[in-house]
Chains A and B, each alone.
Chain A
Amino acid sequence: MTHLEITRRSFIVTTAAAGGGLMIGIAMSGPAQAAAGMMPNPWERATAKEGQEINAWIVVDPDGTTTIRVGQSEMGQGVFTAMPMLVAEELHVDWKMVKVEYADSNRHVRNNNLYQRMSTGGSGAVRNSRVFLQQAGASARERLREAAAVAWSVPRDQVVAKDSVLTAGNRRGTYAEFATRASQVQLAQEPAIKQSGQFSLLGTTLARLDTPLKVNGTATFGFDVKLPGMVYAAVKVVPVRGGKLTSFDFNAIKGRPGIIGAYALKPVGEQPFATRIDEGVAVVADTYYRALTALNLMPVVWDLGPDVAINSREYKARLTEAVKLPGAVGRNDGDTIAAMKTAAKTVEGHYFTGYDSHTCMEPMSCTVSITADRVDVWGGFQNPPGALAVVAEHLGKQPVDVYSHTTFLGGGFGLRSRNHEVRQAAEIARQVGNRPVKMLWTREENERQARGRPAAMSHLKMGLDAQGMPIAFYGRFAGHSAAAQANPTAVANGLDSGTMNGIRDHRYKIANTLIEGHIRNTNQNIQAYRAPGYEHNLWHMEQFMDEVALAGGKDPLQLRIDLTKDLPDWQLVLNTLKQKSGYRRDLPKGEGMGVAIGESFGSIIAMCAKVSVSRRGQLTVEKYDVVVDCGNLVTPAIAAHQMQSGIVYGITDAIYRELTIDKGAVVEGNFDTYPLLKISQMPVVDVHFALAGGDKWGGMGEPATPPAAPALGNAIFAATGKRVRDVIINQADLSWT
């Protein structure tokens, strides 16, 4: 086995190239003027003023400062900039006067889901909120115009609203002057919202409103919440999922400095799977270090439970057996079995990807304060109303008496969407009593309590006709189903189509397709990942498509173009990739380019990776060209950053990351055993937009992750003739002669 030292070829990157194909200048007048668009505590009012609320999303202060409320959580994907842009596009507000704050989840719950959508996931921030956010902006603008029209006795259509100023002839007034009157206006009819082609703000690059807080250390993350009288909790859960806490010896640590108590974490009543906590123990002290040190010194006895025999090797063998058998049918076009018999040639590919964890840079945390009349909870929530509901349920409170306050999130990727850590913190705070408790996970707990990516295996078979074109695709999939784990009865006939995302819903024109799936679960907890299903299945599917092309004597990129002739958006993306990437297959041995494409969360993304591999197997990922069709863009720089982010995430997972399960427990725990990509290994990424426009608004946070890994795998094959199928790339021997 060659140990790979993966490096970036340093001569490629120059200052000019380092911004990729999208070196976007951001207009601003200098750092002193670059005031943040929100408070360091982003759940607080964005300004110190008493403003006038025009509707639930928009508040105008007497000085014209306009606060736009954001229902989604800022985890790096840019919602604190993109979401207010959707409102501002219609409001015709002076962007320099815009501030943002989180929408209040308690008010949302109290007022019948006032903010419509307050969870963040499925790359849906823009896609699923755009219409009502544009509407909020347009409705407020028309009320402002109407208020001025009445005051000036002119028809509303003669009042112009621009940059927070209303004018009609020589009459002039500011939004601030008319905000109170606007809030009382009743319109006979709500205005229509702008469509693609009518935008002036959307599609432009604006400076991120949160950057100033992120370059001086003031942005408050969940880890950073500070409350008067607050104490700190360190936690450890049973190393084997499904195990139990038998006992712990608090006497051994109670004399240590600052120690307040040690508490058993045990199930209380029936808890839904998603938010069920593992059994464990918490130590609480006046500082985190004292709590953690004492926890590590405290003797704890576990009953490891029934699953101590589970290990990765045995589980992989179970999947290998499963894909030999026919499974629950997830897709059935034509008559695949009959067509396969007529094939001139068949190609088969086996692929596997293991369990993985999200590894947000910020480990999980949550702070809870319980008082007689209310409960407050702070953290990096992807679903703040969900956090509120879990706390209310766990503590037996009314939801209206619980307030969840969302911090900045140090990465999310799905990890912070279920609120199991919230229940854990609420349980500790319940036992501690009347002091606020901040619970922090160590890196090791963060990885070992991982509720990340499921393990998955595919056995794919393609029948080709005499011309080498695919005529029959038979795919068998086996893997861990989060849905079945959460609720076995919700998964009918053993079929969880979501686990087969990326294979089952392939878009290639192949007359016959049969996809079957098997569910094989272990004791590992699984939940939303970055592009669930697609993330691992595209590694299987898009590497296999290369195998199919080469077996049929075709160029892999050209075959993808030929098999998607009926899909204009795919044609645009693939042809743009062909043009921009300089994709070629006649490079000298040791160099290679590989392509992959996927459609998920409303966006089509194709990539071309360029690698070099030394004779002894050292891999250098040199370059990625990315072509994205998300229909319309809110703001190009943030979109391009999400493309880079998705690539780093995808190739990090492919190169380094499989959580090993041994004796039922996760082995890896920290960056020494579970690495992330480093700056020295970062390829140059050029992003190209090929937008279909129209009514399409594709997601940005997730869809770049799935195609990144198979493009890399295909490039490695082009360079070396070696196909990495069922191990992480770092364990594959890529040497060649």
Chain B
Amino acid sequence: MALTLSVNGRNYTVDVEPETPLLWVLRDNMGLVGTKYGCGIARCGACTVHIDGQVARSCATQAAAAVGKTVTTIEGLSPNSTHPVQVAWTELDVPQCGYCQSGQIMAAAALLAKRPRPTDGDIDAEMELNLCRCGTYQGIRAAIHRAAAIAGGAR
């Protein structure tokens, strides 16, 4: 069935079963493969996107549930990687293999939107479901603090 979804400021009409996870619609129907599959059961965060500004695990969100809402993926977070989280991530060279990082960045961006100066406790709570097998957590923590500083006007 045809669904129209608003993703990164653009409308896409796709022919999918309405229960199809948003993840696969983004990846296979829209070609937005920056959002990753890691588990399919909302336990790893690789597929994290924003729906109406809130963190959502796209593997556990039916496409039909995103109709009429605003979806943002890593491809739409900023033009030219200028979101403070991306700037901080680049400065500190956070990614290793990089596979989890779209999800990490989307989760971190949502955290900062909610809490512009997050504590370590906030980071623990909000980033708890974003797993990284390469072990980049120390860099992620430092980069979130750095992104908060950049967003607050620091150079």
- Interface positions of A (Cβ within 8 A of B): 7-8, 10-11, 13-15, 18-20, 23, 26, 28, 30-32, 34, 74-78, 207-208, 210-221, 223-224, 226, 232, 257, 287-290, 359-363, 408-412, 440, 442-443, 637-638, 641, 644-649, 652, 670-672, 676-680, 682, 684-685
Contacts and interface: CB of A to CB of B under 8 A. Distances in A.
Given A74-B97, A680-B125, 8 more contacts: A30-B87, A31-B82, A362-B99, A410-B36, A672-B41, A676-B44, A682-B141, A684-B138
Contact of A641 (B16, B96, B141): B96
Nearest to B122: A10
Given A211-B93, A215-B90, A411-B99, A671 B133 contact: no
B97 A289 contact: no
A216 B86 contact: yes
Contacts, number: 226
Nearest to B102: A217
Contacts of B131: 361, 671, 676, 678
B31 interface: yes
A406 B114 CA distance: 39
Nearest to A443: B39
A140 B139 CA distance: 37
A208 B73 CA distance: 24
Given A360-B133, A408-B97, A443 B40 contact: yes
B136 A31 contact: no
A638 B94 CA distance: 10
Given A670-B41, A670-B43, A671-B131, A18 B93 contact: no
Contacts of B81: 31, 34, 212, 215-216
A289 B133 contact: no
Contacts of A30: 87
Given A8-B124, A217-B74, A257-B17, A208 B99 contact: no
Interface in B65-102: 73-75, 77, 80-82, 86-87, 89-102
Contact of A682 (B31, B75, B137, B146): B137
Interface string B27-47: 111011111111111011010
B7 interface: no
Interface residues of B, number: 71
Contacts of B21: 289
B27 to A, nearest CB: 8
Contacts of A34: 81, 90
A215 B89 contact: yes
13 contacts: A10-B121, A26-B92, A34-B90, A77-B96, A211-B95, A212-B90, A362-B38, A410-B98, A440-B37, A443-B41, A641-B96, A676-B133, A677-B135
Given A19-B142, A31-B82, A76-B97, A361 B44 contact: yes
Given A31-B81, A212-B90, A257-B17, A289 B28 contact: yes
